[in-house]
């Protein structure tokens, strides 16, 4: 199938080359059972829970050979009621439904499973909730996000490089699809580097277990919803990572996949029931076309293919219309917030999930954590379609009305590429923001220049440092939440074909690296110039609310120059001019009188040069002028 240029790169996140698993086969109990049965219950999800959650209902998924034949008894526990159990198709699962009253205290529920070959006891832990309401800080337009791949950023603990029980047990830095060894410790060791850029939030690609035989490094094929990938660190170490980030003034965004899982997830190897997955007579891909969801003339089959078709052969499509599956997923993502104190979720392949589930999932998380930041990947071809998947002014379509605060702004990213090329069209910047009227609040959208699924911007624009600096200026002064892909600030390059090259290691993050780009001494003059430019604007943005929450006024581009202002009620005003011409241009300031009136001078933010004449501006070719205005 030939996909549009908007959709094809999204597949690069997740394509794996492992044997296809039959989608209609249900493993037998004998197949799923381990060679030697361990003493006690194999697992219960969630692994533990908390008293005091707003939703008193708790669904436990118990997994153990033959557990369905057991009768559950629970010792009396004040405030906790056993509302019943439910068998599933697989004999190896039992659902336990509990009700936890608001006055229940932390402790352990004494569970006993008796029947068939089982006589098993389990102490299920109920913990006290964290009472620090500021612990989950949220993500908003005051933030500057640094997006990285933990495996490719820095290796701080070589002892976790190889896990003997993992399906992929090698580290091979010369292979773009193998593990390279990066981890939480490696990120922690470079907190100061991130802060020097003005970064306030870290977004790693998924850190939950991805125990797939090949290409497991990216994390988008989860094999255990309740465990960290131990090659990054333990689940406890991830919670500590979040805490250490907070202590360093850095927030953490948790990257998640709702639509699918990895085919080596225990829930797929031993399926609780056939209807936990979207099953087809033979393997059936998604059509990857979100237009089917709200096409007034569309067919039901096209909608089903989009939402229920599989993303890839090794990524089973989860049936979120099943209320048991929906509850399982919602509880999991509540669990990660309460356990770690993470600040926000980035949702991969957001539009592919069941629409009703998306509304239920978003409501459940925001009901429990109103301050939680959330933005989704909606890699679509128009502003209207992108706005459809965020909070917007549009009427519901077939009952769907998105409650997602924001999305990754692929429309402005497309505009940036068009504007920054040698014969760039800065009108695209203007056009991309003109559509913001469709959103409830476009400032919650995340703006970016490149990411792990596309060519690096430096290569796309012909390795032009002047034009890249224009891009940095736009990124850090426009509306929304800026996101920088790791290494873009030191001119990392390459094209997405082959896609692995855009996911290269950060030089200096690994033992034996000949160059250390984390230090100024290890950078070339051009790399240092790029780094210093981002650092200057990033730290300026961090200390100037006008670039975080100020209003934006843009003027129709003329003569290849795009001009806009950020301003607020406190009297702060910053003027930005982007010149897409190779030659210097003189701009008449009278055109901008409604924003310049009352100001007499200014300072160019990056260079520190004084600006004394606001009637006429000279803007060098392929450059950005960022001026803090003064009265």
Distances (CA, A) of 452 to 18, 58, 503: 21, 37, 6
Q: Which residue has the tokens 């605060």?
A: 405
Domain contains 122:
yes
Domain contains 85:
yes
Examine the fold and report which residue of 128, 162, 178 is the final residue of a domain before the chain moves on.
128
CATH value at residue 63: 2.60.40.10
CA nearest neighbour of 469 among 483, 449, 485, 452 = 449
| pLDDT digit string, tens, across residues 111-121 | 999 987 778 99
Is 551's pLDDT higher than 70?
A: yes
Q: Are residues 268 and 346 in the same domain?
A: yes
331 and 58 Cβ atoms separated by less than 8 Å = yes
Q: Are residues 117 and 180 in the same domain?
A: no
Domain contains 329:
yes
Domain contains 59:
yes
10 Å Cβ neighbour count for 146? 28
269 and 32 Cβ atoms separated by less than 8 Å = yes
The reported pTM is: 0.94
515/554 Cα distance (integer angstroms): 42
Domain contains 47:
no
Instruction: Report the pLDDT value the prediction gives residue 115, as an integer from 0 to 100.
Output: 87
206 and 150 Cβ atoms separated by less than 8 Å = no
475 and 197 Cβ atoms separated by less than 8 Å = no
Domain contains 34:
no
Q: Are residues 120 and 242 in the same domain?
A: no
pLDDT band (50, 70, 90) for residue 498: confident
68/115 Cα distance (integer angstroms): 9
Q: Are residues 578 and 528 in the same domain?
A: no
| pLDDT digit string, tens, across residues 460-497 | 999 999 999 999 999 999 999 999 999 999 999 999 98
The answer to whether residue 628 is catalytic is no
Q: What percent of the chain has pLDDT over 70?
A: 94
pLDDT band (50, 70, 90) for residue 24: very low
- Supply 44's token pair: 């219960």
Q: Which residue has the tokens 């109103």?
A: 370
Domain contains 396:
yes
Residue 564 structural domain: 551-630
Q: Are residues 301 and 189 in the same domain?
A: yes
| pLDDT digit string, tens, across residues 506-540 | 999 999 999 999 999 999 999 999 999 999 999 99
Provide the phi-psi class of 333: left if phi over 0, else alpha when psi is between -120 and 50, else beta: alpha
Examine the fold and report which residue of 100, 128, 156 is the final residue of a domain before the chain moves on.
128
CATH value at residue 498: 3.20.20.80
How many folded domains does the chain comprise?
3
Q: Are residues 590 and 626 in the same domain?
A: yes
Q: Are residues 194 and 237 in the same domain?
A: yes
| pLDDT digit string, tens, across residues 35-50 | 333 457 989 999 999 9
Helix (H) or strand (E) holding 348: strand 344-348
441/101 Cα distance (integer angstroms): 37
CATH value at residue 583: 2.60.40.1180
Domain contains 70:
yes
The catalytic residue among 377, 436, 489, 628 is 377
Q: Are residues 68 and 186 in the same domain?
A: no
Q: Are residues 464 and 392 in the same domain?
A: yes
Integer Rg of the chain from CA: 26
200/249 Cα distance (integer angstroms): 7
Q: Are residues 214 and 362 in the same domain?
A: yes
Q: Are residues 116 and 204 in the same domain?
A: no
Q: Which residue has the tokens 């495996």?
A: 151
The catalytic residue among 45, 188, 348, 489 is 348
10 Å Cβ neighbour count for 112? 15
Helix (H) or strand (E) holding 528: helix 525-543
Q: Are residues 168 and 294 in the same domain?
A: yes
The answer to whether residue 348 is catalytic is yes
Tell me which DSSP letter residue 14 carries: T
Examine the fold and report which residue of 496, 527, 543 is the final residue of a domain before the chain moves on.
543
Q: What is the mean pLDDT of residues 302-314?
A: 95
Among 82-86, 172-176, 534-538, which is the least confidently predicted range?
172-176
């Amino acid at each position: 199938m030939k996909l549009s240029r908007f959709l094809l790169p999204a597949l690069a996140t997740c394509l794996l080359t492992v044997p296809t698993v039959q989608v209609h086969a249900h493993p037998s109990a004998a197949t799923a059972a381990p060679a030697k049965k361990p003493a006690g219950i194999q697992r219960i999800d969630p692994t533990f829970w908390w008293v005091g959650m707003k939703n008193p209902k708790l669904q436990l998924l118990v997994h153990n050979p033959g557990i369905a034949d057991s009768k559950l008894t629970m010792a009396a526990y004040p405030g906790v009621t056993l509302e019943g159990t439910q068998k599933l198709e697989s004999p190896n699962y039992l659902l336990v439904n509990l009700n936890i009253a608001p006055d229940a205290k932390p402790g352990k529920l004494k569970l006993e499973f008796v029947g068939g070959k089982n006589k098993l006891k389990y102490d299920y832990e109920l913990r006290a909730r964290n009472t620090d309401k500021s612990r989950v800080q949220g993500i908003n337009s005051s933030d500057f996000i640094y997006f990285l791949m933990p495996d490719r950023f820095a290796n701080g603990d070589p002892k976790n490089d190889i896990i003997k029980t993992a399906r992929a047990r090698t580290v091979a830095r010369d292979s773009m699809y193998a593990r390279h060894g990066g981890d939480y410790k490696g990120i922690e060791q470079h907190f100061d580097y991130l802060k020097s850029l003005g970064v306030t939030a870290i977004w790693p690609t998924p850190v939950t277990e991805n125990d797939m035989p090949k290409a497991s490094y990216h994390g988008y094929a989860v094999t255990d919803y309740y465990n960290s990938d131990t090659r990054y660190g333990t689940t406890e170490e991830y919670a500590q990572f979040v805490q250490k980030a907070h202590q360093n003034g850095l927030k953490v965004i948790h990257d998640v996949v709702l639509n699918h899982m990895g085919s080596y997830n225990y829930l797929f190897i031993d399926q609780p029931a056939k209807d936990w997955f979207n099953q087809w007579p033979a393997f059936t891909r998604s059509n990857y076309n979100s237009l089917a969801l709200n096409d007034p003339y569309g067919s039901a089959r096209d909608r089903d293919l989009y939402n229920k078709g599989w993303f890839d052969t090794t990524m089973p499509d989860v049936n979120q219309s099943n209320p048991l599956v929906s509850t399982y997923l919602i509880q999991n993502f509540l669990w990660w917030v309460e356990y770690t104190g993470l600040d926000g979720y980035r949702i991969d392949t957001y539009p592919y999930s069941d629409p009703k589930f998306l509304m239920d999932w978003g409501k459940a998380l925001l009901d429990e954590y109103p301050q939680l930041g959330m933005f989704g990947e909606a890699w679509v071809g128009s502003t209207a379609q992108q706005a459809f998947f965020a909070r917007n002014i549009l009427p519901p379509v077939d009952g769907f009305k998105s409650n997602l605060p924001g999305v990754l702004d692929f429309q402005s990213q497309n505009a940036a590429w068009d504007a920054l090329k040698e014969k760039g069209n800065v009108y695209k910047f203007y056009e991309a923001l003109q559509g913001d009227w469709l959103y409830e609040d476009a400032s919650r959208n995340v703006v970016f220049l490149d990411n792990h699924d596309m060519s690096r911007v430096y290569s796309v624009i012909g390795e032009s440092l002047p034009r890249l600096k224009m891009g940095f200026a736009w990124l850090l002064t426009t509306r929304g939440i800026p996101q920088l892909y790791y290494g873009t600030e030191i001119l990392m390059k390459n094209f997405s074909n082959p896609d692995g090259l855009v996911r290269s290691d950060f030089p200096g993050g690994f033992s034996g690296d000949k160059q250390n780009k984390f230090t100024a001494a290890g950078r070339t003059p051009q790399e240092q110039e790029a780094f210093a430019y981002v650092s200057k604007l990033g730290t300026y943005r961090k200390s100037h609310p006008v670039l975080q929450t100020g209003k934006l006024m843009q003027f129709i581009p003329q003569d290849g120059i795009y001009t806009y202002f950020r301003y607020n009620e406190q009297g702060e005003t910053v003027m930005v001019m982007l010149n897409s011409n190779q030659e210097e241009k003189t701009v008449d300031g009278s055109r901008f009188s409604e924003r310049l009136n009352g100001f007499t001078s200014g300072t160019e933010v990056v260079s520190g040069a004084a600006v004394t004449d606001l009637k006429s501006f000279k803007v060098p070719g392929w450059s950005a002028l960022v001026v803090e205005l003064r009265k």
